[in-house]
Structure 1
Amino acid sequence: MSASSIEFEMEELLLRIAPELAKQWQGANPELIAQVERIAGRPLPPFYHWFLRRMGKDMGALAYPTLDFSAERILACYAEKLVAPDSRFLLIGYESNEQMPLHVFYDFDVPAREDALVTERDAMGGDLYDRFETLREMLAWGALLRFRVNKMPQKCEGILSSEEPDLLSSLDPLMSSLGFNKPIPTGPRCGIYERHDAVMICKRTPREELLGYQSFRIGGRDAGLVRKILGRIATESALEVEVDEWNPALR
């Protein structure tokens, strides 16, 4: 699948679950994008090009409370020498919360699916805290959490586990048999599943050594439906389901 068709699917997903974005998001102008690319010292991942063109000035309802992903902010951080240019890492999200000053970076040493690994670290270096294999997955996962899962009457979260490292190879066909669609393609460490009355998202840290585990969140129209879906996963696949929390709590 080409990068352009994937981004078409991504845009379709975002505008479907948050239609207000059509009037809110604003792209960065081409010169600012070119300046970011010069700082990177290499061609930007195709998805990041799309992201900057579509919402590199304003993310609208997708904006994170304390993270600024705008091209203007990124360029300002480099101009003010808050972060040094690096051939491996590119700052893409500035964290304004001084209590947790971990900024979002691309790690170009780990490209994936016309995109690259998203990690967090201090502005000047230090330990890495990897988040998603791609920015595409980070945005899609977060958007579905905010605009679908969290708006469902019943929510649940927990852990899926399997003896097989590629857990999603078992989960994907089962979710399809239950009528769920995958709105965009993902890698083996992030699963997103939708149908009209329920949504399930799962992920694990990209470089985590514990293969065969995924945290999950699911939302549905009522507790009975969510319990039925989780029960089908537990009984019709080799996956184990461990529930940590129901919201609201079950009586």
Structure 2
Amino acid sequence: MLTIAQLLESLESLEPGLCGRIRGASPELIARLERVAERRLPEVQRQLLERMGEDLGGICAGFVGADMRAASLVERFEARGWIPPAPFVLVGVDDAGAPMDSFLRCAPDLAEPELVQFAMPGGVQALVASGPDNYRVMAPSLPAWLFRCAFTNFVGGRYRWVATAEVFEAQPDHGARFDALLSARGFFRQHGSDHMTGALWTQEAAVLWTRNALDDPVFVAIYADEPARVDELAFTLAGVTAMRRYSTVANDADADADEDEEDELG
């Protein structure tokens, strides 16, 4: 179980200076948030707010429902006047107008709260039905979601090309097999990876695989500076299991062209 402190220690090694950029919210603002939320915040959210509740340092920049600043949450509660029902606790709002907000689902059957998203009433709604009865699980925990966002931004963002793929008939050992295969090829497995998230990288490429339950589909993102390297890694991973590859696209404005394709691998 990754704590916020362990998360930041891992991310500092990926993004030196990160811990100097983040800023925690004041105790007074955190207390005000608890008053308008009408409940005590989960410990993991309190840890996040104390360390980076004023500035998250770009960890989840560009992601939906990722504004987790204490002031933004207070503003949302005061503007909407809606308190999410148990077991949900508001943890993030979207600062770019998207209808999805982020919540911790603090159910007694969970070892730690999982991060889910749905649209809060009173604002713009998603095209697909959403709400507390129709939420989408984004990660098995808040630290896991932040780790995935940070690896995407701080590591994946270094490379010029990215391909995505998905393993629909995933098995519990697929993650471990991906890790073993990549480690044998010289990839470093970033501290913070676990049985639900694998973050591996070298100077030339990076791979992030994620799932939210052992029997869930596995999503894979492959990053490299050359499309040929992306292709090579995609076919290497397909040696573990068949996967559907969706696309290879430019990961930044400097890439010359996009390559759009959809292939069955394996």
- Structures share a fold, TM > 0.5? yes
For residue 145 of structure 1, report the CA deviation from its aligned partner.
1.3
TM-score, normalising length: structure 2: 0.74
**How far 1:109 moved relative to its partner?**
1.0
Q: Which residue in the other structure is 2:229 paired with?
A: 225
CA contact (8 A) 1:110 1:117 kept: no
Per the TM alignment, residue 162 of structure 1 is displaced from its structure 2 partner at its CA by 4.4
1-structure distance, mates of 2:229, 2:24: 40
The 1:90/1:172 distance shift into structure 2, 3 A limit, reads same
Contact 1:197 1:221 in 2 (8 A): yes
- Identify if the C-alpha distance between structure 1 residues 178 and 9 changes in structure 2 by more than 3 Å, giving closer, same or farther: farther
Please say which of residues 67-76 and 159-168 is displaced more in the overlay: 159-168
Residue 136 in 1 paired to residue 140 in 2? no
Question: Which sections of structure 1, spanning at least 5 residues, go unmatched?
Answer: none
SS in 2 for 1:95: coil
**2:57 aligned with 1:57, yes or no?**
no
Tell me by how many angstroms 1:112 deviates: 5.5
Q: Give the ranges of 4+ consecutive aligned residues of structure 1 lying more than 6 Å apart after TM superposition.
A: none
Aligned partners of 1:13 and 1:183 also within 8 Å: yes
Residue 102 of structure 1 is matched in structure 2 by: 100
Query: Post-superposition shift, 1:247?
Result: 2.4
Judging changes above 3 Å, is the alpha-carbon distance between structure 1 residues 90 and 18 closer, same or farther for their aligned structure 2 residues? same
Decide whether the 8 Å contact of 1:149 with 1:199 is kept in 2.
yes
- In structure 2, which of residues 174, 179, 184 is the aligned counterpart of residue 172 of structure 1? 179
Residue 143 to residue 244, structure 1, CA distance change in 2 (3 Å): same
Deviations 1:127-166 (A, max 9, x none): 2122111111211111111222132133221223545245
Match of 2:192 among 165, 184, 187: 184
**Which of 176, 182, 207 is 1:200 aligned to?**
207
Q: Which runs of 5+ in 2 are unaligned?
A: 122-130, 251-257, 261-266
CA shift in 2, pair 1:173/1:118, >3 Å: same
Matched with 1:148 is: 155
Counterparts of 1:66-105 in structure 2 under 5 Å? Answer: 67-84=66-83, 86-98=85-97, 100-105=98-103
Q: Which position in structure 2 is the counterpart of 1:13?
A: 10
> Hey, what's the Cα distance between the residues in 1 that align with 2:233 and 2:61?
30
On the 8 A contact 2:12/2:18 being kept in 1, the answer is yes
Q: Percent sequence identity over matched residues?
A: 20
Equivalent position amino acid for 2:69 in 1 = S
The CA distance in 1 between the partners of 2:109 and 2:96, in whole Å, is: 28
* Partner AA of 1:247 in structure 2: V
> Partner of 2:247: helix, strand, or coil?
strand
Equivalent residue pairs, number: 239
- Whether the aligned pair in 2 keeps the contact of 1:41 and 1:87 (CA below 8 Å) is no
Letter matched to residue 233 of structure 2: I
Bigger relative contact order, structure 1 or 2 (CA pairs below 8 A, ≥6 apart)? 1
Deviations 1:169-208 (A, max 9, x none): 33232233233313203343x332223322111224x47x
2:246 equivalent in structure 1: 244
Q: Normalization by structure 1: what TM-score?
A: 0.78
Q: 2:42 corresponds to which residue?
A: 44
2:28 corresponding residue in structure 1: 31
- Counterpart in the other structure of 2:255: none
Aligned CA-pair RMSD: 3.1
Q: Deviations over 1:206-228 (max 9, x none)?
A: 47xx9452121111243343333
Q: Which amino acid aligns with 1:90?
A: V
Secondary structure at 1:69 match in 2: coil
SS at match of 1:156: strand
